[in-house]
């Protein structure tokens, strides 16, 4: 989506069911998030100082959750950048298509859970920042 902006990327507050034995947060397709989940993956054992992302997607929507620990996400639409600190397992960052993202400052032992609207497709990635800027300008 060429017209998307970082202001379309928002924190979604998930409901939090509190139990004495622990908490539960829930994500429901097309209710909590504006898409249906086709794929779930998670990043873990991330070495200190490492960054992830460094790409955009043409169609993919994602909800990114710090299931454990914390990390920062910078989103960039080619004009404006916004940085979100994710450090609550009951909050998710919605990233719409056409947004460059960087994930960094992972705390030790953190887990980044990603709910995605489509299956893995390398053709959906834009991995060059120059190409991304051209894509957004057209």
Residues that bind ligand TYD (CB under 6 A): 39, 41, 43, 52-53, 120
Burial 100-138 (b: 16+ CB within 10 A, else e): bbbbbebeeebbbbbbbbbeeeeeeebeeeeebeebbee
Measured from the CB atom, the residue of 15 and 131 that comes closer to ligand TYD is: 131
Nearest-approach distance from CB 15 to ligand TYD, in angstroms: 26
CA neighbor of 48 nearest in space, from 109, 101, 131, 121: 109
Whether 19 sits among the annotated catalytic residues: the reply is no
Nearest-approach distance from CB 125 to ligand TYD, in angstroms: 7
Measured from the CB atom, the residue of 7 and 120 that comes closer to ligand TYD is: 120
- Which residue out of 17, 19, 55, 57 is catalytically annotated? 55
Q: Which residues are catalytic?
A: 55
């Amino acid at each position: 989506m060429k017209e998307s902006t970082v202001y379309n990327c928002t924190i979604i507050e998930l409901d939090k069911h509190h139990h004495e034995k622990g908490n539960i947060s829930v994500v429901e397709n097309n209710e909590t998030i504006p898409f249906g989940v086709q794929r779930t993956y998670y990043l873990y054992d991330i070495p200190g100082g490492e960054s992830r992302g460094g790409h955009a997607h043409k169609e993919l929507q994602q909800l990114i959750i710090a299931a454990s620990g914390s990390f920062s996400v910078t989103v960039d639409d080619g004009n404006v950048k916004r940085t979100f600190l994710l450090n609550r397992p009951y909050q998710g960052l919605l990233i719409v298509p056409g947004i460059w993202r960087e994930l960094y400052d992972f705390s030790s032992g953190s887990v980044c859970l990603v709910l995605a609207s489509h299956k893995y497709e390398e053709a959906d990635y834009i991995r060059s920042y120059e190409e991304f800027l051209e894509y957004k300008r057209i």
